[in-house]
Amino acid sequence: MAADKVDPIHQFHINTIVDIPVGGYDFSFTNSSLFMVVAVLLAATFLYFSTAKGALVPSRAQSMAELTYEFVASMLRDAAGNQGMKFFPFVFTLFMFVLTANLLGLFPYFFTTTSHIIITFALAMLVIGIVIIYGFAKHGLRFLKLFVPSGVPLVLMPLVVAIEVVSFVSRPVSLSVRLFANMLAGHITLKVFAGFVVSLGAMGAAGMAGAVLPLAMAVALSALELLVAVLQAYVFAVLTCMYLNDAIHPSH
């Protein structure tokens, strides 16, 4: 068992850095908190300094920032229309946060905040909470039309409504688990293959030669993880946009 030498789970351990117990709860500043702070600082400094000059003809960094901005803006506009643009700061923040956290997690020895279900679940609940609160505030009870698609025969209605409700309830779950599982599984797989390299390498010359295979696999997996890190941030943002669209235009 690889766990003897290389524990693939070890990377997900949360270590307290500064102990802050408040009223029986542990609000310690941990490595998870540290990397959240680092991710936010990184994203914020990048966005702040790349756009500081506000040049008419953008520099490389500025066009990167502008590209992400335009990317998220068009994503939101396509999904939720111009009315959805009032959620733009939120979606942009969400995208940048998840993206930076995912990418930061790719570095060896770095902690991946998004590989913890509570983080992704909190973000997903934030999204769904905003959808529900905005939906009811904007449309009142007409928001419930979301669960009653038009043009369905009356006989099928209870079934369809039940399906719609279940699909709505499973949204935060699938949204959070998708991101969490991708990050977790990817990092574990990477670690397992890296563990193979180490344990094969310890077996002498033949093992060294054999270790090339898992090493190549680890390299390929790193590339895949880079893709997944960006893609999952994108998927998270796109689904957020779609859910926000439901809050803005409930009758579909």
Binding residues for other proteins, rule: CB under 8 A, are 3, 7-9, 12-14, 20, 25-30, 32-33, 36-37, 39-40, 43-44, 47-48, 51, 54, 56, 58, 62, 65-66, 69-70, 88-90, 92-93, 96-97, 113, 115-119, 121-123, 170, 172-174, 176-178, 180-182, 184-186, 188-189, 228, 231-232, 234-235, 238
Judging by beta carbons within 10 Å of its beta carbon (0-12, 13-18, 19+), is residue 206 exposed, middle or buried?
Answer: exposed
Looking at the DSSP bridge assignments, the partners of residue 25 are 22
Smallest distance from other proteins to CB 231, Å = 5
Q: Are 32 and 15 a contacting pair, CB within 8 Å?
A: no
What whole-number distance in Å separates Cα of residue 158 and Cα of residue 25?
Answer: 44
Roughly how many angstroms between the first and final C-alpha of the chain, as a whole number? 52
Compare residues 145 and 168 and give the one whose CB is closer to other proteins.
168
What whole-number distance in Å separates Cα of residue 165 and Cα of residue 243?
Answer: 14
Compare residues 145 and 230 and give the one whose CB is closer to other proteins.
230
Compare residues 115 and 250 and give the one whose CB is closer to other proteins.
115
Compare residues 46 and 136 and give the one whose CB is closer to other proteins.
46
Compare residues 64 and 145 and give the one whose CB is closer to other proteins.
64
Looking at the DSSP bridge assignments, the partners of residue 16 are 30
Smallest distance from other proteins to CB 227, Å = 9
What whole-number distance in Å separates Cα of residue 33 and Cα of residue 17?
Answer: 9
